[in-house]
Structure 1
Amino acid sequence: MAEEKSIVSGVSGRYATALFELAQGSGQLDAVEADLSRFTALLAESEDLTRLVRSPVFAADDQVRAVTAVLQAAGIGGLVANFIKVAAGNRRLFAVPAMIADFRRLAAAHRGETAAEVTSAEPLSASAEAALKDALKAKLGKDVTLSSKVDPSLIGGLVVKVGSRMVDTSLRTKLNSLKIAMKEVG
């Protein structure tokens, strides 16, 4: 367990570790991961929810009331609902996305997996995601859990982060490199 804890740090790491230990101790690891994924999807879909989570202008009580209503409407209860409400009550709602990312790292390490963050210009198809997982597994020798983000400014290609390593094959980076090379020539 000490090795798993060392992969996260700071406020988000402490909260994620506490949730991980509660989920593992109660045998709810998979259910907690599923609820956290649903909350992450809600954040991605709703600008209003994102504003509520990120904005410091809302009082803690207002954040707790609002997030409680959102969680109930989404059918998210138990450990995850309590976790998010505690974070809101402690004025840490802004850190929940980082807490979720840290929780995922802990859960992946527990399963013997490596977590990878993938950013693409467009959402990855299921076959592209599977091919990327296979390629990363062949390179790293471990199963890989992907968390995907979309950033249209990449134009094309991928940015893959595994731990402290990053591979950037985006067209944006290649075009910027070409632009710099052209300035040096001219």
Structure 2
Amino acid sequence: MAELSTLARPYARAAFEYADGHSALDAWLEELATAAAIAAEARVREVLSRPALTTEKQAELFIELCGEAISAPMANFVRVLAANRRLTLLPEISAQFAELRAAREKSIDVHVISAYELSQEARDRLSDVLGKRLEREVRLSSETDSSLLGGLLIRAGDTVIDGSVRGRLNKLAEALTN
């Protein structure tokens, strides 16, 4: 079976092109995130997977669950997904839509995990350095994890930079056992 990302790609692109053409990227991003959160719920997936439900009924149930959080165009998008039995792809479609928007805006979300709280000056410097390296505007979020012992773990899209002491010790242990 094809991977979820492969199945979701044409839907994400179609949604992006529609939203971009109607100057509604922000609204669609928010609505897709809402629909994705609903589609990810175990009880919703269970109900939607019932063979007795027609695709039309699945779409109407899902739209009813979303309530006023989605617009008429998004409701039509949900109907198309339901007709093709692709409602379960909404979380992946939402993620790919966000990536397409970030690529258009030349921005990237970067998550930094450090052993200790980063000062605002360090966050700003790190954001500037990563922005130059990645050639994008960086939106930085951070958290602390004392198990890293020291250093940083940086996640920017598919790129992971492990500069933590824990990561270096793991690499050293692996090298010694080989």
Q: Which residue of 2 aligns with 1:67?
A: 62
Shift of 1:32: 0.9
- Alignment of 1:58 with 2:53, yes or no, is no
- Alignment of 1:38 with 2:38, yes or no, is no
- Alignment of 1:136 with 2:148, yes or no, is no
Amino acid at match of 1:20: F
Preserved CA contact (<8 Å) 2:33 2:91: no
Amino acid at match of 2:89: A
| SS of 1:167 mapped into structure 2 | strand
- Alignment of 1:183 with 2:177, yes or no, is yes
Structure with higher Rg: it is 2
**Bigger mean CA deviation after superposition, 175-184 or 9-18:** 175-184
In structure 2, the gaps of 5 or more residues are none
**CA distance in 1 between partners of 2:165 and 2:39 (Å):** 28
> TM-score, normalising length from structure 1?
0.61
**CA distance in 1 between partners of 2:11 and 2:112 (Å):** 25
| SS of 2:136 mapped into structure 1 | coil
Shift of 1:63: 3.5
Residues 66 and 172 of structure 1, relative CA distance in 2, 3 Å threshold: farther
- Structure 1 consecutive aligned stretches of length 4 or more whose deviation exceeds 6 Å: none
Q: Which residue of 1 aligns with 2:98?
A: 104
**CA distance in 2 between partners of 1:170 and 1:81 (Å):** 45
Q: Which residue of 2 aligns with 1:14?
A: 10
Shift of 1:182: 4.9
CA deviation string 1:134-153 (max 9, x = no partner): 5532432321357x8x9x9x
Residues 93 and 178 of structure 1, relative CA distance in 2, 3 Å threshold: farther
CA RMSD after TM alignment: 4.1
Amino acid at match of 2:155: V
Residues 21 and 39 of structure 1, relative CA distance in 2, 3 Å threshold: same
Residues 174 and 86 of structure 1, relative CA distance in 2, 3 Å threshold: farther
**CA distance in 1 between partners of 2:164 and 2:63 (Å):** 39
Preserved CA contact (<8 Å) 1:35 1:80: yes
In structure 1, the gaps of 5 or more residues are 1-8
Number of paired residues? 160
Shift of 1:93: 1.8
Residues 97 and 41 of structure 1, relative CA distance in 2, 3 Å threshold: closer
Q: Which residue of 2 aligns with 1:115?
A: 108
Identity %: 29
Q: Which residue of 1 aligns with 2:79?
A: 85
| SS of 2:70 mapped into structure 1 | coil
Residues 100 and 169 of structure 1, relative CA distance in 2, 3 Å threshold: farther
